[in-house]
Structure 1
Amino acid sequence: MNIYLVRHGETEENKNRYYYGSLDVSLNENGITQAKKAGKALKHIIFDKLYVSERIRTKETAELALGNDIAAVKDSRINEMSFGVFEGKTYEEIKKLYPKDYKCWEEDWMDFAPNGGESYRDFYNRVESFMDELIKNPCENVLVVTHGGVIRSIYCYVLNGKLDLYWKFSSKNGDISLIKYEYGNIFIDSITHI
């Protein structure tokens, strides 16, 4: 089984370095270009299934990359992490507006949840649920268009749920990763920067 992961194209919020997991925003011009480039890189593959998050930026990326050749299945488990009151703010703004919460987040990034948001551990658990289900229903080629945090969490999943490895990976807008599941083994085959 080949699981292709594509991070959605760039948005203005990415460009301005906002935390915005739950905000529903569209791609910017650069993001549109990235999505089209990802499509060119994937054009030779026939996908059996396509999954997108509930956010418009993943749907736009999938449509620009593949056209409307395959119906997308929306799955909330591959939504980006919800940052609650931190949404729409930069790292510096969070530090200034919520100094106590910021300190707690810095000291316990896995288990701290901003007001109205979720902890990384809870976020990982829903991504894990998605992956567990995905590999139980194998097909030849699956495309998952999602978010940087989800992709990093999938890398942790591949590495036996080692959550502390989350910060050891990058996932840039438009990147394509190939995860293979063969003979009961799951592994990262490649990561391509677009």
Structure 2
Amino acid sequence: MDIYLLRHGKSEENEKNTYYGAIDCSLNDEGINQGNRVKEKLRGIDFQCAYVSPTKRTLETLHIVNSSKELVVNLEERLKEINFGDFEGKSYGELLKLYPSECELWKNDWKDFTPPGGESYVQLYKRVESFMKELINKDYEKVLLVTHSGVIRTIYTYVLGGNLDLFWGFGCKNCDLAIIKYEYGNLYIDSITHC
């Protein structure tokens, strides 16, 4: 199985440099252009289906890159970005002023810390892990996932054995395209391409 991981194109919130996962924003002009460049890279690949995070930015990206009218598209909640709760839409500087004690806890335990009303990286890992365990039991040759940076880094972490300390060891720019292969019961990262 070839699992193509595509991060959404640049969005309105990317420009603001804020924490956002649950904020449902659209692609900006640069994000649309990125999607069109990736479309060329995906031309001719026959996907059996696509799984997409049900957010505007991921759905818009899929709409740009998908040239098949027959592609089966599955909206998948487990592919949503991490929810930053009350931290959503705020820069780190703003968070330091509004939530100084929470920021200290976050700095000291980034994996288990849960922002007020949000979720932790451990919770993100568990939902992505449950999706991946189901996916590798499907009978697909090629499948497309359109999702977010946090989810993609989590998938890399899952492929490498589940050690969350590896999470920050990967870059993941807008419209990056990665291929994960599942062969003979093993997952491995085959390639990562910047748009």
Q: 1:44 to 1:68 in 2, by over 3 A?
A: closer
Q: For 1:47, what is the secondary structure of its paired residue?
A: coil
Q: Which letter maps to 2:126?
A: N
- Counterpart of 2:87 in structure 1 is 86
Give the number of aligned pairs: 194
- Counterpart of 2:132 in structure 1 is 131
Q: Answer whether contact 2:111 2:121 (CA < 8 A) is retained.
A: yes
- Shift of the alpha carbon at 1:138? 2.9
Q: Answer whether contact 2:48 2:72 (CA < 8 A) is retained.
A: no
- Counterpart of 2:149 in structure 1 is 148
- Counterpart of 1:61 in structure 2 is 61
Q: Deviations over 1:41-87 (max 9, x none)?
A: 01120000101001111000000011462132101000000000000
- Counterpart of 1:95 in structure 2 is 96
Q: Which letter maps to 1:24?
A: D
RMSD (Å), alpha carbons = 0.8
Q: Deviations over 1:124-164 (max 9, x none)?
A: 10000110000011310000000000000000000010110
- Counterpart of 1:33 in structure 2 is 33
Which structure 2 residues correspond to residues 1-194 of structure 1 after superposition, within 5 A? 1-67=1-67, 69=69, 70-194=71-195
Q: Deviations over 1:4-60 (max 9, x none)?
A: 000000012112211110010000000000111111101120000101001111000
Q: Share of identical aligned residues, percent?
A: 53
Distance of 1:166 and 1:26 partners within structure 2: 26
Q: Answer whether contact 2:49 2:73 (CA < 8 A) is retained.
A: yes
Q: Which letter maps to 1:53?
A: S
Q: For 1:18, what is the secondary structure of its paired residue?
A: coil
Q: Which letter maps to 2:78?
A: R
Q: Deviations over 1:78-131 (max 9, x none)?
A: 000000000001111111211011100110000000010001000110000110
Distance of 2:150 and 2:182 partners within structure 1: 21
TM-score by length of structure 2 reads 0.97
Distance of 2:68 and 2:12 partners within structure 1: 25
TM-score by length of structure 1 reads 0.98
Distance of 1:39 and 1:71 partners within structure 2: 17
Q: Which runs of 5 or more residues in structure 2 are unaligned? A: none
Q: For 2:136, what is the secondary structure of its paired residue?
A: helix
Q: For 1:177, what is the secondary structure of its paired residue?
A: strand
Hey, which bits of structure 1, 4+ residues long, moved more than 2 A?
A: none
